[in-house]
Structures are given as structure tokens and as C-alpha cells.
Amino acid sequence: MDTTLTFDRPAAAPATRAVIADDRTMLRTAAELTRELNAPRSAIYWGDFIASVVVGYAGLVTAIMVGPTALAIGAGVLAVLGLYRALSFIHELTHIKHASLPGFRTAWNALIGVPMLVPSFMYEGVHTLHHARTRYGTAEDPEYLPLALMKPWTLPLFIVVSALAPIALIFRYAILSPLSAIIPPLRRIVVERYSALAINPSFRRRMPDGDFKAQWTRIEIAASIWAIALIVLVATGVLPLRAFAILLAVASGVAVLNQVRTLVAHLWENEGEAMTVTAQYLDTVNVPPPTLLPALWAPVGLRYHALHHLLPGLPYHALGEAHRRISAALERESPYHKASYKGLPGLVWKIGRSTMVRAK
């Protein structure tokens, strides 16, 4: 769902920076060294996903069941981390061939997508546009805003607004879904503007068709029923307000954590022009080992986001090995090494400094 409606792109500036040519050696080396790593391993996907779901919901139930103690806070944090990791598999759903992991999309939607009101269709058909060679970093990219070139106050607002996502999603599926089913003009608005995990407020989705439309409809009906049921359960007292507040707090925690990761996933320095693959790579971020915390805030391979933009078809569990191979094969002067950063604080400082310099 578009959570940045208050953000606008800065006026396009004349293209003054030198165009970064593609580094053919880097691109060729990355492709050649990782060819046998492209097959997703079913046991890893299912084991990791189910474990994340169990940890997340166990933490949530514990936080609800125990009183307001340190244990409840710890359980809530565990719930956020577990559910966030499970939710992050939506990224994999957009890239893997579903025939190689039969039933995974259905299980993901049943256990995470529908309960958290972030069904897979909100990302499928959207995220691939972000990877399109001529769309990345332009006004047609649903997942890009030149944040580093915007006003300094936009960064904290970018994070804070994400905390409202659970309320917005309940409204989207409990109110807008049923209304749009009987009001065609509203349906178009809902699909175009409120059915995508996008940060670009000017992005408009195309209406779905064919098999994807049928799949979308089935999943949206389930999400709508769940959202309405939540409201009814709270209104009738079946679900206590305290429990509902904890649900919202955990869901907001997941949304905020994801937004923080989004903030540092790119350098956000492109002013709207099309970019080469190498330029896209250098505008994106890897946070490889030995630092450990990215495994929590950038799970399921997202710590190798720049590498993912080089090799978007590589399954998440292969990215670590791919990074080791490519890093060892390329000289230190290669652009490949320039996309690796030490951790979250330095990345936040980098983008914050860029906005402050721009504001002067």
C-alpha cells in the first residue's frame, strides 16, 4: 500500500553527473560464477519460513497472554522480528518460479499475507517494475524516490508514516474492498492507488486481468473477510482492546522496521534519468558479514540488495555464497566492492547528510 502520499519528487534537475558505464567484467564475472546457484532449495525455503512464522506468532501470543512486564516486551520484539522475516518472503515470491516451490505462495498468503493484510498481489506485478532496466530510479519506478535529494524533514516523516500502515490496511480491506466491489469507479482508484507496496506516490497500477485477476480476487476476498472479522471481534468484545492494541503495535513494528530497511536499501541519489546496470548497482546497498545485525533488519537475503539487483533471479539462500565468490574474483578497484557498507548507522548518516547538504 502506498504509504508516502505526502511526499513529492523534487523538481527534475538538469543531468549534470557523468553517466556511469556498465562494467562488463563485473557483470560477466557475476553471471559466470553463480550459474549453478540459481535453483531454489525447497527445504530451506519451507524450513526458514515455517520457523519464522512459529517464532513470530509464539511471540505475539505470549505478549498478549502475559501481563505488562519485561517478558511481554521481549515477546513483542520477538514477534516483530519473526513476523518481519516471514513477511519478507514476499520478495522471493516475486522472483522465483512458482512451479519450483509448489504451494509456497498459497501457504505464505494463508499464514502471513492475509493475516497481516499484505497479500502477495500487492507486490507481484509491482516489484518487477523496479528491476526493469529503463524504469529503475525514474518516475515510473514504484519503489524509488530520490530521498537523498529531498528536504531533511522527509526522512523522519518517511519512517513515522509507516507506523500507521496497519490502520490503513484494515481500512483498505474492511471498507474499500467491499465498497469497490459495487462501485466500479472506486474499484479503479483502489487498484491503481491502494493495492501496491510502493513508495512512489505518482505510481498507478494497471488493472489485473486473466489468471492473475482471478488469483487477486480470491486472496482479496479472504483479506477483506479477515479485516471485517477483526473489527467485529473488537466491537463485540470478543477480542479485548488490549489484545488488539498489541496486535497493532506488533504490526506497526514490522512496518517501521521494513521502512527503516527501505530507507537504507538504496542511496536514493538518482534524479530521474535512466541508469546503466552498474549505476543501479552502485545506487544500491550490500551490508555483508562480518556485521551481524543486518541479519535481523535485512533478512531473507535483503542484506545483499545490491547483489540482488545484479542477479535478481538468484534465490536468497545463495546470495552469501555468490557474494564470496564474486568478491574473491574481482580486483579491489572493481565497482562491485563499492556497494558494500558496514551497517545501518553509517547508511542513515550518509542519506541524512545528503539531505542536509542539499538543503543549504
Residues ≥6 apart with Cβ < 8 Å to 194: 1, 2, 172, 176
Of the chain, the end-to-end C-alpha distance in Å amounts to 33
On the question of pLDDT at 151 being above 80, the answer is yes
**CB distance 83 to 258 below 8 Å:** no
State the number of CA atoms in the 13 A half-sphere of 307 facing the CB.
29
Residue-level pLDDT at 360: 64
On the question of pLDDT at 194 being above 60, the answer is yes
For residues 5 and 206, the model is more confident at 206
Residue-level pLDDT at 1: 38
Mean pLDDT along residues 234-246? 96
Q: Which long-range contacts (CB under 8 A, 24 or more apart) does 230-237 make?
A: 230/170, 230/174, 231/170, 231/174
Mean pLDDT along residues 235-240? 96
On the question of pLDDT at 166 being above 80, the answer is yes
pLDDT-derived band of residue 133, with 50, 70 and 90 as boundaries?
A: confident
**Mean pLDDT score across all residues of the chain:** 92
Give percent above pLDDT 90 in the chain.
86
On the question of pLDDT at 11 being above 50, the answer is no
pLDDT-derived band of residue 67, with 50, 70 and 90 as boundaries?
A: confident
**CB distance 277 to 314 below 8 Å:** no
User: For the CA atoms of the chain, what is the radius of gyration?
Assistant: 21
For residues 16 and 245, the model is more confident at 245
Residue-level pLDDT at 18: 59
Residue-level pLDDT at 359: 66
**CB distance 111 to 317 below 8 Å:** no
| Burial class of 331 by CB neighbour count within 10 A (0 to 12, 13 to 18, 19+) | exposed
Mean pLDDT along residues 127-150? 92
Residue-level pLDDT at 84: 98
Mean pLDDT along residues 49-61? 98
Per DSSP, 66 falls in state S
CA 83 to chain centre: 13
Residue with cell string 537475503? 301
**CA gap 303, 319 in Å, rounded:** 9
pLDDT-derived band of residue 357, with 50, 70 and 90 as boundaries?
A: confident
Q: Grid coordinates standing for 87?
A: 513477511
pLDDT-derived band of residue 14, with 50, 70 and 90 as boundaries?
A: very low
Mean pLDDT along residues 175-203? 96
Angle at 192 between CA 300 and CA 147, to 5 degrees: 55
Mean pLDDT along residues 63-88? 95
Q: Grid coordinates standing for 164?
A: 500507521
